[in-house]
Every structure is written in structure tokens, then in C-alpha cells.
């Protein structure tokens, strides 16, 4: 799941079902065959395979690397072994990437800074490359911020700000009033060896973080050759104050690239079921460059791949005969801006696009400090609803979890995962999520366990997102819910969105009859 887009060129009706008390609610037996065939041991095997691939490829499975190509091969081989005809859909895009990034204070009081949006720093988009150890020099900063109103820092915005700047030093520049690119270009013209941009420090601008790590872009590839990093106001202020007392020596290093990345989606589908009412399950296959991506999104890949294998197994043994075709998609380019799903949607003929009844998206479903989030299809909790029918999908998930006595919370369609291109063209969508970099509240800890005040996934987009970072208990729960929803929509004789193919009322009645009949199964 992307934290922010990385530059690349390239319904509302809610399903209402009557249930008893949640701890005694009936399990939908119509999905038991598929749920029984989906095992946590099977998913663990997939996670281990993805971890082994990352281990053999510099701890990453990012697009354009051998780690990603081997991930594609693994998923394709598993699908083919299950009997599917597999399509590898190649595509290319232009993207900015960073490798081997370091920021540390050499003296005084040595400190290693942690890369990441929720940590200490990131590389500015379109930064140059370099390996620099040098003294820092503050450039026209406003520190401490005091009572200055927002936007008053013009640090680095004029060439004159660098009068007296010593060539070869690292320029310490504050956010404010002009583009980051202007600051970086001015610094390079003054013979700075590198730039550290720190946030402005104003805490009171709604919707605009002026305290944390900056989400900075320099706008154009190749605009500067020197390394440019973004950090928090607190880190910047600390460095400024230290530099006023004596020399502060920093080490900054990164290798950056901008160019064509060749990657691919992996697609397979059942050879039974109505092809004009396709149930599409998706998960992104790529990791970020910084780590192996086993929760983000090996957990989603393992879930969809295990369901695909279970579907093939249950069709073969006669315990499952889907009325509607089921399609499985493993997306590339998600961490660069949902590019695999976007390519798929744009490349699909209009008739085939119309035949997709819904998209079920699984992105990060094994977070260690989890909450069971369900996408808010009808927008009732978050105000951002999906296309007509998305509320029905939300209802199927919520009613399943209620039948298991498991709490859930809504999460918004905020555009951060591969459902985005589908809802953009009006296809109903839904899915599950167990949390990324946001922090668990005390109220959530009381309901779900875990630790309040800690991120749902403390290893989000980091090197520590390994197989040890996956909570297999919640992964099992989410996979069963995914298998249940797959059954529900594969077996329905009604349309999800209640438009041309059937009414929403008919869809609700059909699902209610089919899915809620009897036994109880608790994890």
C-alpha cells in the first residue's frame, strides 16, 4: 500500500441481514466448503516463499528487480499447478527510485536517523545521488518557530540567502513560501554538497502537516545532482540549535534513479461460471524498495493465492460450483501509484470491463498490531462511498464477521490501494485491511488487543516487514472472510449493483437465503 504516489509517467445500498447476538450468530454454511479449504498453513507457505525470494534478492521484491520477477514466476507456477491458465500482462512505466540511503550525525553525539515517513527522514522526490560527509550550515531559518505565523519562512528562496555559505557544506533549509525545487537549485548553485529540508514547525494548519517528515518533490527529474533529504521540524530545529553552538557534521548518502521499469500483472480465472458477472479478487504483488513486503503485501497475495487454489480444489471435488466466474489478479506497480490495476482497467475492452461485477481488494491483511477494517462502501462512516453496490459488499463482510463474534471498523476509500482504478470507472468494490502506519487508539486496543500508541504495522514500508511481521491469527480470520465473500458473490444469481442485471433488493434477498443457514465456527 503506497504512502504517497511516486511519480510515474505512464453502492450505496447496505445489505441488511437479521442475525442474533454476535457471539451466537449462525455461520453462513454456504461458504464453509471454500473456507475449510483455505488454510493458514497454506498461506504461511506462500509467505515463506516470498520471504525466500526477497532474501535472495537484496531483501526486496520491488518492480523492476529479480525479486519481483521471481515473485511473478512463483505466483504463476502455483496457479498453473492448480490447473489455471495464467496470463502474464506486461507493462512499463517511468519512475523515481532510491537505494542504499543513509542519514547520520557524525558529531557531536553520533546518531543514525531512520528512513520512513513515520520516522526521521525520506529522500526528496527527484533528488540527485551522492555520498557526502560534511558540516551543516543553516540557511536563513526561523528557529525556534515561536509565535511566527504560518508560511513566514523564506529559507533558501533567494540566492542572497546563501551569501556567506561555505562551499562543500550541507545546506540546512526550512520549508516555506517557495517551491522545494527553488531551494534545492539555489543550494546547488551555492556549491552545497547536499540539502536537508526540514518542516516549517507550524502545528495549526488544517490538512497540512507542518511538523512531520515533509512529502517533498523537486518536480522534475535531474533538476539537481546533489542529494536532498526531507525531515521533521524537530530534527531540523535540533540541528540548527546544535550548529549555533559549534560544528555539526552529517553523513548523507543515496543512489537515485529515474527511468523505465518493466513489470507485469498476473491474471487467472475459473473456466466455469457466468463470464458477464465476474468476481475479481486482487492483491498487489510488489514490495517497496526498502524491504521484502511480507505484510505489505505478501499477506494479500497469500490470501488471494490460497483462495484461488481452494477454488480449483473445491470445483474439482464437486463441493463448490460457482455460478459466476472468479478472476484472480496480482498487481504490479502498486507502490508506484496503483499502476498495475490502472493498466489493467485501461487496457480492458469496454465490454469486458462491464462484465466485472465487483472488485474485492486485499492489501495488508496480517498487520501485527491489527484492527479488522472493512472498506466503507456506502460511505456512512467516512463520507467517501464507492460505486453503487459497494455498500452491499461491505455488508457481506460485516455480517460474516458478526457471525464469528469478531469486531470490525470501517475504513475509507482513500485511493491508497488497487480498488482505486475500479471505483473510478464505476465498478463496485470492497475489501479488507488491518492497518498500516496509523497509530492504534486505546479504544481499539481494548477491542482488538495489541498496543495503543503504536502503529498498526510498525514495519510498514521498512526492512523489518518480514515474515515475522505477520500476525497469522488475523490473517486466518481475514482470509476466511475473503473466502466467504468470494462464495457469496460467485454464487449469487443477482447483480451486486442493482442496476441492469437485477435489483439491489433481489441481491439482498438472494444472499440472505443462500448464506445464513446453520453451524458455528469461531477463530
The catalytic residue positions are: 334
Q: DSSP string of 341-387?
A: HHHHHHHS-HHHHHTEEEEEEE-----TT---EEE-TT-TTTS---S
Distance CA 263, CA 344 (A): 13
Supply the DSSP symbol for 182.
H
Q: Length of the chain in residues, anyone?
A: 523
Q: Write the secondary structure of 22-39 as one string of H (helix), E (strand) and C (coil).
A: HHHCCECHHHHHHHHHCC
- Residue 466 near residue 293, CB atoms below 8 Å: no
Distance CA 55, CA 40 (A): 22
Which residue, among 287, 366, 321, 322, has the nearest Cα to 50 in the 3D structure?
A: 287
> What is the chain's alpha carbon radius of gyration, rounded to the nearest angstrom?
25
How many C-beta neighbours within 10 Å does residue 81 have? 10
- Residue 173 near residue 233, CB atoms below 8 Å: no
List the beta bridge partners of residue 242: none
- Residue 241 near residue 143, CB atoms below 8 Å: yes
Distance CA 376, CA 395 (A): 9
- Residue 384 near residue 414, CB atoms below 8 Å: yes
Residue with cell 528562496: 157
- Residue 331 near residue 282, CB atoms below 8 Å: yes
Amino acid at each position: 500500500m503506497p504512502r504517497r504516489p511516486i511519480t510515474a509517467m505512464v453502492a450505496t445500498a447496505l445489505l441488511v441481514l437479521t442475525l442474533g447476538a454476535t457471539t451466537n450468530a449462525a455461520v453462513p454454511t454456504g461458504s464453509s466448503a471454500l473456507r475449510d479449504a483455505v488454510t493458514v498453513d497454506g498461506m504461511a507457505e506462500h509467505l515463506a516463499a516470498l520471504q525466500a525470494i526477497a532474501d535472495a534478492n537484496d531483501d526486496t521484491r520491488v518492480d523492476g528487480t529479480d525479486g519481483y520477477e521471481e515473485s511473478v514466476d512463483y505466483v504463476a507456477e502455483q496457479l498453473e499447478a492448480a490447473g489455471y491458465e495464467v496470463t502474464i500482462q506486461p507493462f512499463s512505466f517511468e519512475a523515481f527510485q532510491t537505494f542504499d540511503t543513509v542519514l547520520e550525525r557524525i558529531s557531536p553525539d553520533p546518531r543514525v536517523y531512520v528512513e520512513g515517513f513515520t520516522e526521521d527522514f525520506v529522500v526528496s522526490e527527484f533528488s540527485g545521488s551522492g555520498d557526502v560527509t560534511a558540516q551543516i550550515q543553516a540557511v536563513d531559518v526561523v528557529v525556534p518557530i515561536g509565535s511566527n505565523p504560518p508560511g513566514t519562512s523564506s529559507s533558501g528562496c533567494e540566492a542572497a540567502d546563501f551569501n556567506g555559505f561555505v562551499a562543500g557544506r550541507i545546506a540546512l533549509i526550512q520549508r516555506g513560501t517557495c517551491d522545494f525545487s527553488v531551494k534545492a537549485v539555489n543550494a546547488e548553485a551555492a556549491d552545497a554538497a547536499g540539502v536537508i529540508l526540514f518542516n516549517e514547525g507550524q502545528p495549526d494548519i488544517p490538512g497540512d502537516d507542518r511538523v512531520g517528515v515533509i512529502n517533498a518533490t523537486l518536480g522534475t527529474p535531474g533538476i539537481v545532482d546533489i542529494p536532498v533529504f526531507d525531515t521533521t521540524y524537530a530534527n531540523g530545529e535540533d540541528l540548527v540549535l546544535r550548529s549555533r553552538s559549534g560544528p555539526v557534521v552529517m553523513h548523507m548518502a543515496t543512489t537515485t534513479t529515474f527511468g523505465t521499469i518493466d513489470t507485469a500483472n498476473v491474471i487467472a480465472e475459473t473456466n466455469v461460471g457466468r463470464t458477464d458477472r465476474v468476481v475479481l479478487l486482487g492483491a498487489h504483488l510488489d514490495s517497496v524498495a526498502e524491504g521484502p513486503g511480507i505484510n505489505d503485501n505478501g499477506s494479500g497475495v497469500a490470501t488471494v493465492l490460497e483462495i484461488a487454489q481452494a477454488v480449483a480444489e473445491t470445483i474439482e471435488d464437486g463441493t463448490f460450483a460457482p455460478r459466476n466466474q472468479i478472476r484472480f489478479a496480482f498487481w504490479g506497480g502498486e507502490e508506484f501509484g496503483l499502476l498495475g490495476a490502472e493498466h489493467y482497467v485501461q487496457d480492458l475492452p469496454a465490454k469486458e470491463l462491464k462484465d466485472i461485477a465487483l472488485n474485492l481488494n486485499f492489501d495488508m491483511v496480517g498487520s501485527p498490531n491489527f484492527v479488522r477494517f472493512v472498506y466503507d462502501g456506502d460511505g456512512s462512516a467516512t463520507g467517501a462511498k464507492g460505486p453503487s453496490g459497494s455498500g452491499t459488499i461491505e455488508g457481506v463482510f460485516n455480517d460474516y464477521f458478526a457471525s464469528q463474534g469478531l469486531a470490525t471498523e470501517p475504513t475509507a476509500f482513500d485511493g491508497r490501494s488497487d480498488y482505486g482504478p475500479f471505483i473510478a470507472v464505476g465498478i463496485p468494490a470492497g475489501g479488507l485491511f488491518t492497518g498500516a502506519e496509523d497509530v492504534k487508539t486505546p479504544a481499539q486496543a481494548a477491542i482488538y488487543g495489541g498496543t495503543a500508541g503504536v502503529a498498526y504495522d510498525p514495519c510498514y514500508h521498512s526492512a523489518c516487514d518480514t515474515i515475522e511481521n505477520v500476525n497469522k491469527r488475523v490473517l486466518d480470520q481475514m482470509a476466511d472472510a475473503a473466502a466467504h465473500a468470494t462464495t457469496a458473490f460467485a454464487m449469487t444469481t443477482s447483480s451486486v449493483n442493482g442496476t441492469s442485471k437485477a435489483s439491489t433488493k433481489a441481491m439482498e434477498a438472494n444472499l440472505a437465503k443462500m448464506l445464513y443457514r446453520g453451524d458455528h465456527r469461531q477463530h
